Structure formats: structure tokens, C-alpha cells
Amino acid sequence: MAAATEQLLLPQEQPRRRPPVWGLTVAALLLVLLLAATGPLRPRLFRAPPPAERVALTLLSGAKEKGAVCVDGTPPGYHLQRGSGDGADRWLVHLEGGGWCSTVKECSDSRLSTKGSSNFMKPIRFMGNGILGGDQLQNPDFYNWNKVYVRYCDGASFSGDAEAQAQDGTTLYFRGLRIYEAVIDELMEKGLTNATQALFTGCSAGALSMMLHCDDFRARFPQEVSVKCFADAGFFLDEKDISGKRSLWSLYGRVIHLQNVRKVLPKDCLANKEPTECFFPAELIKSIRTPMFILNPSYDSWQIRNVLVPDSSAPDKSWLSCKENIRNCNSTQVEVLDGLRNKMVNDLKVVEDKEDWGMFIDSCFTHCQSLSGVSWHSPTSPRLENKTIAEAVGDWHSGRSQGAKEIDCKYQCNPTCNSLPPPRDVTAFDHVEIY
């Protein structure tokens, strides 16, 4: 699997023109009155989210002296947006995702993108929607928090500590663990140490990173501080592909060996299992003590495309069509996809015994859902027990509800999933938008 790339640079959102009130027909006025009574999301039907300013990239100070550098040796970076009001002392720290590089060539190639070099990183927008957004209607629990988006440029989920030589003779730096530690240390100096609440989050490979470091992040705060973790689309499965091979197991094995990932793996797991197995979330969550919320589609489009039906499995045309859009899958193929879902549900059984944990496992064909306003909190968001993802996460985080563990039924049973557009291929995470 090639190194992943992700950009959050967004097009300007065009303002919507409103027709003059006197030009509305009686029927249109009745429709407006009807929509106005549809609940707390009603203002979203009448206006676009407020425009968001670009958030500058902050390069880690003293990165080279700390050995905390991207694959090409450039300093890593993050984007910090300060909170306000009652959110001024609350922090959300998000680790960016973007796959893994598992060979010298893949990691060498990553130097030509944000996934291996900060030379390509630019300012981003935390738009009005999603968990990083600043619109109270769209993001009611976290809209005014301090928010940090930590860029991913090591290729091993912020967990490696090694070096290698590229074919051209230059040094490749695998310093993800040092990057994580140095960035968090710097954020502590910038106010994170005074947080009254902290939420540690991540998406995809960033969610796996967050799981690996969740307890360490918690340990940096006094016990009276509320610290929780939130994993979005990071529950990767050790599942055989359609050709019978364990492709993700092989990938993880190469990453662990190349980048020396063993240091961050749970010691109790390593005492009984191979390091590769301990890199999978099914094992990680057994050791994590900090309260965590797991958000994942049970028909994860990335895992279907790259774990269940990777290109290496030589899929035929029907499988190629199926993995692009689950609506193209025939009944036999859906049964195979159900096997992936069943594996996830079974691996998550351990969460049932963790009283302060939460889950939102919908049956949608998608990947990361917390960074998109459409899936996070909108009139067309996926729902379980009539709650959007934002409502479920917010209720869990604030303690407004108990037993926030929801697992959806099988594919096509949840009509709210149908409102999501089919996801594009995110194997490269090109131009993922926070919108």
C-alpha cells in the first residue's frame, strides 16, 4: 500500500441567495414554516455555516534537536485554533490519518507529499461542520474548544523510532513516536497543561495512533481533569481478503519491522502475542484504561477496498464495481461483506464490559465520519436510536446518557445511511475536506 496523502485545503463556499419574501408563494411560505419546526437543526436549512478563517501551520520548535522530524527530516507541524468562552480551557487534539508506508520505496516516495514532508503543508480551514467546526448548531459540544490538528508525516501512526537509507543515499527518518511526544509537550506549554477537559481524537491511521497513545495522553494530566479518547474509523481488522491472504497483517508486519514500532505496543499483549497482532485495535482496546468512544462504519469503505478486496487479490470486474459502491454488490458479495461486519462486532464485544466507553457502529458504506458535517450532525446524518453521531458522542462525553453503545443491524437496514453519497476511493486521502 502506498503512502497516503491528505490535504484539507478547501474551496471557498459560495453564499446562498435568498429570494425576497414578497416573491414567495403561499405554498412556499407554508413549506418554510414546516421546515422551521423540524428541531434543533432547523437554522442549517436556511443558511450556510459562517466562513472559517485559515488556521496557520505551526512548525515544531527545536524539532531537529529533539530528533522529532518527518520522513525527509523537515520539522513536523500542527494547526492550533484557540477556544473561547467556556471552551477557553477545554482542548481537542486530533491526529491526522493517511495510511502507512511499509517499504523503503514507499516511505521515500512520501517525501514528495505532506505524508513525509512539512514542505507541502499549508494552512487549513476548520469549517462550520464536523467535530473541528466552530458552528454551535453543527458542533454543539465542541464548537468553541481549543482545537489542534496534528499533521501526519511519519508513515507509522506516530509510533516509529528508526532510520533507513533511501535508494539515493539520503536518510529516511521514522520518528513518529518522537513527533507525538514533542508535539504534545509543546502544546502543554501553550496551555494544554491547564485544560479542565481534554478530548484526544484521530481519524483512520490517526485513530490507530490515538489508541496507541491514549493512556499516555491521559497520564499527562491530573486525575481530576476529564480526559477521554475518540477513535473515528480506526478499528482495522485482521481479516482475510477474497483470495485468502491476510494483506493487512502483512502490511502491519512490514511497518513494525521497518519503523521499529514495538516500543508503543502494550507490554501485556507482547508477553503473549506477536507484535503484529498487538498493533491491531482488537488487541489494543483490551489494554486501554482511559474512557474511549469508538465510531466506525461496519461496512468500512476503506477496509472493503484495501483489506477485503485489495488490488493484490486480483478481483474480477464485479468485485471492482462492488468495492467502489456497495450498491453495486450482489447478494453473494454482500454476504462476504457481512463477514467483515461480523468480525468487527465480535472484536468489539470487549467494549460491552467497559462501563465508561461508548460506540456508534453504523451500517453505512463510508470511512471517517467525524470530520464531515453531512455525517457528523445534519438533517441527513446517519442515526442510531434517532441520534446523530455528534449527539451520541456529545451525550457520552458529557455524561448526559448512560450505556452509549450502539451497533447497527446489517446493510440496508438503516435508511439514514442512504442519504450519504458513495465515498470516493480514500486509499490516498487526496483532498479530504472538512466541510
Return the domain boundaries, the chain: 55-419
Write the pLDDT tens digit of every residue in 186-245: 999 999 999 999 999 999 999 999 999 999 999 999 999 999 999 999 999 999 999 999
Question: Residue 341 in contact with residue 303, Cβ under 8 Å?
Answer: no
Q: What is the dihedral of CA 29, 376, 344, 238, to 10 degrees?
A: 130
β 90-95/197-203 pair status: parallel
Largest CA distance in the chain: 74
Angle at alpha carbon of residue 367, lines to 362 and 370, rounded to 5°: 80
Distance CA 113, CA 127 (A): 23
CATH architecture for segment(s) 55-419? 3-Layer(aba) Sandwich (3.40)
Q: Do 171 and 116 contact (CB within 8 A), yes or no? A: no
Long-range CB contact pairs, 325-330, < 8 A, 24+:
325/365, 325/422, 326/299, 326/301, 326/365, 326/411, 326/422, 327/365, 327/422
3-state DSSP of 65-104: HHCCCCCCCCCCEEEEECCCHHHCCEEEEEECCCCCCCCH
Burial class (CB in 10 A: 0-12, 13-18, 19+), 51: exposed
Pairing of strands 162-165, 292-300: unpaired
The answer to whether the Cα torsion of 189, 191, 196, 200 is positive or negative is negative
pLDDT digits (tens, 9 = 90+) for 350-400: 999 999 999 999 999 999 999 988 899 999 999 999 999 999 999 999 998
Q: 3-state DSSP call for residue 202?
A: strand
- By the 8 A CB rule, do 283 and 266 touch? yes
pLDDT in tens, the chain (435 residues): 433 333 343 333 333 333 333 333 434 434 433 334 343 443 443 345 556 678 999 999 999 999 999 999 999 999 999 999 999 999 999 999 999 999 999 999 999 999 999 999 999 988 657 999 999 999 999 999 999 999 999 999 999 999 999 999 999 999 999 999 999 999 999 999 999 999 999 999 999 999 999 999 999 999 999 999 999 999 999 999 999 999 999 999 999 999 999 999 999 999 999 999 999 999 999 999 999 999 999 999 999 999 999 999 989 999 999 999 999 999 999 999 999 999 999 999 999 999 999 999 999 999 999 998 889 999 999 999 999 999 999 999 999 886 689 999 999 999 999 777 666 644 333 333 332
Provide the pLDDT for residue 234.
97
204 within 8 A of 233, measured Cβ to Cβ = yes
Helices (H), 42-175: 63-66, 104-109
Q: In angstroms, rounded to a whole number, what is the distance separating the alpha carbons of residues 156 and 51?
A: 34
> Comparing C-alpha atoms, which of 251, 229, 358, 254 is closest to residue 303?
251
Beta bridge partners of 94: 149, 201
pLDDT at 50: 57
Q: Which three cell numbers stand for residue 80?
A: 492550533
Rounded distance, CA 163 to CA 26, Å? 70
What pLDDT shows up at residue 182? 98
Which residues carry out catalysis? 204, 300, 367
One-letter amino acid for residue 80 of the chain: L
Cα dist from 50 to 16, 44, 134, 308, whole Å: 12, 11, 9, 40
The pTM of the full predicted model, rounded to 2 decimals, is 0.87
Q: What is the residue-wise DSSP string for 255-296?
A: HHHHHT-GGGS-HHHHTTS-HHHHTSHHHHHHH--S-EEEEE
pLDDT of residue 190: 98
